[in-house]
Amino acid sequence: MALFDWLTPAARLNPNWQAIRTRLQSDPYYRLKSAEEIAVAAALGIKIDVNQASVDDWLRLPGISIHQARSLFELTKAGVQFCCMEDLAAALSVPVQRLTPLQPILSFCYYDAESLLTPQPINPNTATVEQLTKIPAVDLFLARAIVQNRHELGAYRNLANFQQRLSLNPQLISELMYYLRF
């Protein structure tokens, strides 16, 4: 089934739907504002995995506050898994009916305990030497160099800036990029 085949011909030609579609395709962080926009997002295949969603993902949804988004993110980060709309409603202390309009773009995926044990990314701009040495491939010498360089030249802008300032080889950066967040 092609995109929008499930829509009536009138809906496919609706200029409002076309405008929403254009906004969604041009701005990946567009905050949805209505049930109509959710329907277009769902038709475009936009999904939010509730068990992997970032604060920004949650904020894309209409009616979700920054406090609710942070709470949901922190719960999933701590290992809580949401299996259905009722779980989300309970976590937010809201009626399920309030969240039901969001269902077309929410995805409830299950992750086993081992997949949840992925390392938490570390910010090299705030990490201590001890925290950095917990990263595979970072020895005490490199951890000290990271902290010293940061103190002397300021915060690292991104992974490329980090690599350049510390003169790290591409293979090492390929390993570290999964453990660092700027």
Give Cβ neighbours of residue 154 (< 8 Å, ≥ 6 apart). Answer: none
User: Which residue, chain included where needed, has tokens 């090492």?
Assistant: 172
pLDDT at 3: 43
Mean pLDDT for 6-31 is 74
The H-assigned helical ranges of the chain are: 9-13, 15-26, 35-43, 55-59, 66-77, 85-92, 96-99, 129-133, 140-153, 159-166, 170-176
The model carries a pTM of: 0.56
Mean pLDDT for 91-120 is 84
Cross-strand pairs, 56 = none
Is the pLDDT confidence value at 37 over 70? yes
- 66-97 residue pLDDT tens: 999 999 999 998 889 999 999 999 999 999 99
State percent of the chain over pLDDT 70.
88
Is the pLDDT confidence value at 174 over 50? yes
